[in-house]
A and B are shown apart, each in its own frame.
Chain A
Amino acid sequence: MKIYLLISLFLISTLSGAVISGHVKDSSSNEAVADVNVYIEGTSLGSATNINGYFVISNIPQGKHKFVASALGYKLFTKEVIFERDQSRKVEIKLDPEAIELEGIDIVVEGEGEHTEEVMNIRTGQLKIKPRDIKASATFIQPDLFRSIQTLPGVVSVSDYSTGLYVRGGNNDHNLILYDEIPVYNPSHLFGVFSTFITDALRDSKLIKSAYPAEYGGRLGSVLDIRSRDGNKEKFEGNISASLFAGEGVVTGPVLGGGFLVAARRSYIDPILKMLGDEYPSYYFWDGQGQLYKDFGTDDRLIFSTYLGSDDLKFNQFDMNMGWGNDTYALRWRHIFSPKLYSNSKLSYSSFKINMDAFGSFKYQNEIGDVSLKNTTEYFASNDLIYKTGFEVQRFFIRYDQEFAGTELMDIEGNYYIYSLFLEGSKTWNSKFTIKPGIRFEHCAILNDAFRLTASPRLSLKYMLNDFSSVTLSGGRYFQNLFTVQQENQSLQIVDNWFPIDDSVDPGICDNAALGYETTRRISGGDYKFTIEGYYKYMQNLQNWKETTSATDDIIEEMVIDSNFVNSYAHAYGIELMVERQLGKFNGNMSYTYGKVVKTIDDPYEEADEFDAHWDVPHSFKTSLNYNINKKWSFGTIITYSSGRPYTENIGYYTEILEDGSENIVPIKGGRNKMRYPDYFRWDVSANYTWFYKNGSKLLLNLSVLNLTNRENVQSYIYDERDEDDTVVKDVFPMLPLLPSIRLSYTF
């Protein structure tokens, strides 16, 4: 404690001029609001709130000033404040949400030329996803964060049946998915049809598509930072909703001087499936999310958060039982040492388990998880200089068992550690140019007593061309020590099976860079943001499951990745164009993406040749629009039109004769992924009607129709052998047909 006091005294002593610091919250939900523009009017002094809604403005001259806080979707906050010399003020600011603007004119706060926060916030490849945007869009049965992300530029979906994200040419396992800073390994239900998180329990989410900063690590591609709602410490409120597939509820309110949030969801098709008999499987899933926090004075907050979820599948016909799910727990401590020194620590546990037994002879178990201790400390040296540093100690555990007919095929169990240290800074000159260098060191103590030390440099630059236009450049080198088992011809992954690398292979490496241009223009009274971003990635040491592994009856009991996987590398590049209007009666976004992923695999049975990855979708046009007719009625539409994915076609067949004289039909494959499925088109529409009640509650009816044109998009081709004439016919395995759905949601 003495050390803390000394540090605080030292930091306070470095202050010059007055300082104002504090948190910005939403007045209705009491949730923290990130990226709020806070500044002293008439000066160049300003800042932006961090992910926890915290800000600091320093060097404020003595006297009376107008303090301003503004954020998109909130009413402008202004207050006259008298600052004494070297005074340090702590404030809590509550922003009132802006009612939906129906006149078609956007209310955009313009800070009279002072856009300090704008120049400091380097957003190359960053997109924010708000729960309200997810709920306003056309939905697949129920609002889903991952499905909303799939409608964004640079994100490829390989199937209507999957919430998997392939971001800027990266594979599905290149995404670091964080829920309240806890990594989640398999965030999906029903083999990927639904993602795990309950939308009404989320505060906001940020997708960094590539070239992410040094505070994150462990994945080659992107970061999806999901934050749950803190809980309302002033009043009870909640929401219950029901869709055709599942029901969910969220309750939040004050407790023990702090706030809590409890959310739960469960699917309810299992009784229907049971009625259909044993020919149909029995299936259900459930989720639970919880958050509890308490403030200790103005400088300390303790937060406990958890996510629990599970899927249960039984198929009596095949004697099959299958269960899988995630468990996450985190205890976080936010501490303000001084107005300029902000610290966030967490101790977390995350685990994904899957168990399966089938046919009375097949048993399978996989578990991956980690226990993590992390600290991030921000030092706001001045209004244009911020340092961020931190460390993380992660203990990973993995178990992978596979048994068939009494024969153990795999028996892998192990632990390993990753120690990380990062440092990054952000410096702005003349409110025009910002440089944000960073470096992340990782010491990975893998199995077999081996270890690796990696250094990942990161750099972001931003130059403001004028108050509304900027150019950004970001890049870095990224490492990944965990990967999922994947086969190149497998586009639909039932669940992700994670493996850590060992000393037989090198970690995955990705060198990437992204260049962007962003400008905001007022057209016909509405503010439109235009974004152009280009990126390039070179990914090495990508591991693919060796198809011949099962040919030996050796038990795989050691972590010898080299003997079970083949190495591959890939180039990815592309350009994304997007126009977006976030406010107004008519809002949404339209985007076009050109992206390529070219992969080379070291197949022992084939010569290494370049081919398109199965998630390579060169052209993609997406639009997501919402139209608010009045307070009660709103409509949404999502249109996606993209190139077909590549596949390997069967160009012919031959008869394989086995030792006993029996015959097998064997396909003759064309070039690997040389052919493409037909182009993909889907048009979804939704209509929302809201009843408002006198007690402040409201009831929302959502009607959605997916694939309005009932287009038969191809998931894959199935080559069926017809018994009558031994002819092989090519059938289409289609994606979702026209699918109406209804959802009711009551908010109180």
Chain B
Amino acid sequence: MRNIYIKILISAAVLTLIISCETGDSTEYGEQLALYCYAKADSTIDSLYLTRTGGVNESINVGNLGVSGATVILYERSASESDYLPVDTLAEYIDRHGIYYLPETGFPGGFKEGYSYMIEAVHPDYGMIHAETVCPPVLTDITVSNSATGVEMVSLTEDPSVVDTLYYKRGESFDDLELVSCRFDSLPILFENRMASFRIVPDEICRTDTSFWLEDTTETVWEDYPIETQIFKDKKRYGSDFMDYYLRSIQIYWYALYHEGMNTVIFSSTDQVFRSYMEARYGGEERYTNVVNGLGLFSISNSSAVRSRYRVYVKSLEKKYP
């Protein structure tokens, strides 16, 4: 009997040892550079962020992880050329750690439609990284219409009396509200399977009631609040020459968009890099990168702007949301 107990004890000890040793293999962490640059056609580079990765329990922000002292060079190549030619070397902001810019004098005319660009960053501690992209074509023939009436909003005058009125009935879900119908010639972009985004930038003071969700309307906040959303295009769904898109505020649906004034609606066509980035970003933690030997994104967008004046009119204040 004693032997059985000894055998059981030995077996238990061996089993414990086997099971507790199954801990997996930790992947070795190596520091890398991350580069972010969202460039715009016809402009130069305003901000290029160069940071390094941080380990667990390290402070993770640009201030701490910004990388100074790197040599960052922009290269350009037209469609007819085979080799990149250097444009200029970026300078680092004196008071902004790890943020670089390209003075307008060094890049007259900015990024050109159809040209390829490469950014190269070299740092003695982290080696060299580089990223490439192509400046996309611009969207054309954009019209903005009142969704309710279908009338084109051509209030390009500064005359405040010429205002398109958009109706929002309080008590209905704001998400279903169709305020502005945007239409543009999407063919050049659609057939390349890219994405466009648009944003509304209020030119005047825009009133946004941030307390709406909590039904506490005693305090009203006035602030400029650009509203942006992206249109993910796909040939199958938007398979026509023109596409309509209704302005909705899906990301901040609990805010009441209650503002009036002159607005600039900016449409941006983006490069394939940005589309791939957005595709990979949604739903997962993995990020797409076009930075070779590093992380981040170098993307160029091409914008068109349409201005219009409108006011959102709240039809009823009787019913509570939702």
Contacts and interface: CB of A to CB of B under 8 A. Distances in A.
Q: Do A and B bind each other?
A: yes
Interface of A: 319, 360-361, 404-407, 547-555, 592, 605-606, 618-619, 621, 641-644, 646, 649-657, 659-661, 663, 665-671, 674-676, 678-679, 721, 725-730
A670 B23 CA distance: 14
Contacts, number: 166
A656 B47 contact: no
B56 A653 contact: yes
Interface stretch (B32-40, B123-131, B140-148, B256-264): B32-40
B60 A726 contact: yes
Interface in B168-208: 173, 175-176
B25 A671 contact: yes
B307 interface: no
B22 A550 contact: no
A655 B56 contact: no
Given A547-B283, A605-B280, A675 B62 contact: no
Contacts of B24: 644, 646, 674-676
Nearest to A621: B15
Contacts of B19: 619, 621, 641-643, 679
Contacts of B57: 727-729
B18 interface: yes
B250 interface: yes
Interface stretch (B106-114, B153-161, B284-292): B284-292
Contact of B173 (A361, A619, A643, A650): A361
A729 B58 CA distance: 9
A609 to B, nearest CB: 12
Nearest to A729: B57
A310 B178 CA distance: 38
A679 B47 CA distance: 48
B275 to A, nearest CB: 9
Contacts of B232: 551-554
Interface in B7-29: 15-16, 18-20, 22-29
Interface of B: 15-16, 18-20, 22-29, 31-32, 34, 36, 38, 47, 49, 51-62, 64-65, 173, 175-176, 228, 231-232, 234, 236-237, 248, 250, 253, 278-288, 295-296, 322
A404 B173 CA distance: 12
Contacts of A360: 173, 175, 253, 322
Contact of A725 (B59, B280, B285): B59
Given A554-B236, A730-B56, A404 B250 contact: yes
A642 to B, nearest CB: 7
B281 A551 contact: yes
- Select the residue from A659, A666, A674 with max chain B CB neighbours within 10 A: A659
A619 B23 CA distance: 12
18 contacts: A319-B322, A361-B173, A551-B283, A553-B237, A592-B15, A605-B280, A619-B18, A641-B16, A643-B19, A651-B27, A654-B60, A654-B65, A657-B49, A670-B27, A675-B24, A679-B20, A727-B60, A728-B60
A5 B245 CA distance: 71
A258 to B, nearest CB: 52
A619 B22 contact: yes
A670 B26 CA distance: 7
B53 A654 contact: yes
A650 B51 contact: no
Nearest to B12: A621
Contacts of A618: 22
